[in-house]
Amino acid sequence: MKVLVLGSGGREHALVWKLRQSPRISQLYCAPGNGGIADEAECLAADLQNLDSITALAARLQPDLTVVGPELPLTLGVVDEFTRRGWPAFGPTRAAAQLESSKSFAKEFLQRHHIPTAAFAICDSIEEVRAALGHFHAPVVVKADGLAAGKGVVIAKSKEEAASVAAEMLSGKMLGEAGARVVLEECLTGDELSFLVFSDGERVAPLVAAQDHKRVGDGDTGPNTGGMGAYSTADIVDEQMRDWLIHHIAQPVVAGMKTEGAEFKGVLYCGLMMTALGPMVLEFNCRFGDPETQPILMRLESDLSDALEASIEGRVSEGDFKWSQDASVCVVMSSGGYPGTYEVGKRIDGLEEAGAIEGVKVFHAGTSKRDGVHYTAGGRVLGVTARGLDLETAVARAYAACAKISFDGAHYRKDIAGRALKK
């Protein structure tokens, strides 16, 4: 079986690592991949912003399965095109991927289908923003409508700041076209939860839950990022809550998309806030989360390729997954300055020593490799991931591995899973 993974980040490295364990897979490719993925799969050139480039590569390889990692190819319609050509591809169609590509679509969808979410307003001009702010209490969440790589959300402490941020988004200076429309949201409080399910367009099967850490600094300080770390444990949600999330959020989303003529197949990432009034949807992703995928797949003990095919072929069930009761954690090591400006091309040392620690796997995100040496090539550089019998062990192993790795300007949070450990 030939498998092609599209993407170049830590999520894709985790997918490649897990798929490589399948006895069914004889050839594994990744496009474009990165310095770490190149050690585990054949990396091939492809422009993931260009549908013709992706299609040409697949026409040459003729893969038996293609797994779409990042969001952009989904919004280009890669699954639509592959399906039209008879090539099996895991992920939603362009129409179904609107749940992620347009926050205004997602919010109005949630409202139509009575799925719990924060109060909101959709604005196309600064005049609309100022008028809508009269209905909110500070703080106010300001979101760019389009894709912004996890950086299109600002929690404004005052209405004046909210108006200023919205104006900058709408002007195009902050996020380009992604900010051409903005969504204002009531600011919810509670613990965030990443709840992912596989869907075949009708049924859903849950993965183990995880918790992401979005802010760049310890204690959830500083700007939002694509994610600075995540953890997963067997008790992060109990069975009763898991069933509630399936029946009141995940299943109604899939059923609602089907009634609207946009059948959802693939992985649905529900970003939730566990509030005092119950779980509420913050956002959807229509692909595996990054960095949640790293700790989630560390706990998966069954063949991932079987579950991916079940989604494509319309036979998803909870029996597709077998999970370890171990805990897992991922600590993201980033370039100095991320999520703002940063330098690349810094030599990375200590990877072999870190990977030799029991239960540790170092996933590469923004790296390149030349003459056997790895260098930084992005904002989020590595996802140092560890598994252990309990969360304390997993966290200790991950941070012991981080201490072995060095590159100029390296930065990582020291409190990933800290709140859970205190509990």
3-state SS record for the chain: CEEEEEECCHHHHHHHHHHCCCCCCCEEEEEECCCCHHHCCEECCCCCCCHHHHHHHHHHHCCCEEEECCHHHHHHCHHHHHHHCCCCEECCCCCCCHHHHCHHHHHHHHHHCCCCECCEEEECCHHHHHHHHCCCCCCEEEEECCCCCCCCEEEECCHHHHHHHHHHHHHCCCCHHHHCCEEEEECCCCEEEEEEEEEECCCEEECCCEEECCEEECCCEEEECCCCEEEECCCCCCHHHHHHHHHHHHHHHHHHHHHCCCCCEEEEEEEEEEECCEEEEEEEECCCCCCCHHHHHHCECCCHHHHHHHHHHCCCCHHHCCECCCEEEEEEEECCCCCCCCCCCCECECHHHHHCCCCEEEEECCEEEECCEEEECCCEEEEEEEEECCHHHHHHHHHHHHHHCECCCCECCCCCCHHHHHC
* Residue 147 pLDDT class (50, 70, 90 cuts): confident
Same CATH topology for 2-91 and 191-320?
no
Q: pLDDT per residue over 219-237, tens digit each? A: 999 988 999 999 999 999 9
Q: Is the confidence at residue 174, as pLDDT, over 90?
A: no
Would you tell me which CATH number, out of the four given (3.40.50.12780, 3.30.420.40, 3.30.70.270, 3.30.1490.20), belongs to the domain 119-186?
3.30.1490.20
Q: Which amino acid is at 126?
A: I
Spatial contact of 367 and 13, defined as CB atoms under 8 Å apart: no
Q: What pLDDT, on a 0 to 100 scale, did the predictor assign at position 46?
A: 96
Tell me how far apart the alpha carbons of residues 264 and 368 are, in angstroms, rounded to a whole number: 34
Residue 319: the pLDDT is 87
Residues 6+ apart with CB under 8 A from 370: none
Distance CA 235, CA 67 (A): 29
Domain ranges of the chain: 2-91, 119-186, 191-320, 327-422
Measured distance CA(370)–CA(198) in Å, rounded: 37
Can you give the pTM of this predicted structure?
Answer: 0.95
Residue 423, pLDDT above cutoff 90? no
Contact yes or no for 258/199 (Cβ under 8 A): no
pLDDT surpasses 80 at 190: yes
Share of the chain above pLDDT 90, in %: 94
d(CA 109, CA 81): 25
pLDDT interval class at 33 (50, 70, 90): very high
Largest CA distance in the chain: 60
Q: How many CB atoms lie within 10 A of CB 174?
A: 18
Instruction: Please answer whether residues 15 and 38 qualify as being in contact, where contact means their C-beta atoms are separated by less than 8 angstroms.
Output: no
Q: Indicate whether 30 pLDDT > 90.
A: yes
Strands 373-376 and 367-370: antiparallel
Domain 327-422 is classified in which CATH homologous superfamily? Phosphoribosylglycinamide synthetase, C-terminal domain (3.90.600.10)
Classify 190 in phi/psi space as left (phi over 0), alpha (psi -120 to 50) or beta.
Answer: left
CA 405 – CA 399 distance, rounded (Å) = 10
What's the CATH fold of domain 2-91?
Rossmann fold (3.40.50)
Sign of the CA dihedral running 69, 95, 255, 249: positive
Q: Is the CB of residue 160 less than 8 Å from the CB of residue 139?
A: no
349, two tokens: 């040392």
Contact yes or no for 156/224 (Cβ under 8 A): no
Question: Residue 152 pLDDT more than 90?
Answer: no
pLDDT at 255 over 80: yes
pLDDT digits (tens, 9 = 90+) for 287-322: 999 999 999 999 999 999 999 999 999 999 988 899
Q: Which residues pair with 265 in a beta bridge?
A: 200
Query: Among 104-108, 143-147, 257-261, 308-312, which is the least confidently predicted range?
Result: 143-147
Residue 60: which residues within 8 A CB-CB, separation 6 or more?
Answer: none
How many whole angstroms separate alpha carbon 394 and alpha carbon 409?
A: 25
Q: Give residue 329's pLDDT.
A: 98
Strands 327-334, 360-364: pairing kind: unpaired
What CATH fold (topology level) applies to the domain 191-320?
A: D-amino Acid Aminotransferase; Chain A, domain 1 (3.30.470)
CB 291 within 8 A of CB 195: no
- Looking at residue 311, its amino acid is S
Q: Does residue 150 register a pLDDT over 80?
A: no
Report the C-alpha gap between 139 and 190 in whole angstroms.
14
Are the CB atoms for 342 and 349 separated by under 8 Å? Answer: no
Distance CA(79)–CA(63), nearest Å, equals: 13
**What pLDDT digit, counting tens, does each position of 329-371 carry?**
999 999 999 999 999 999 999 999 999 999 999 999 999 999 9
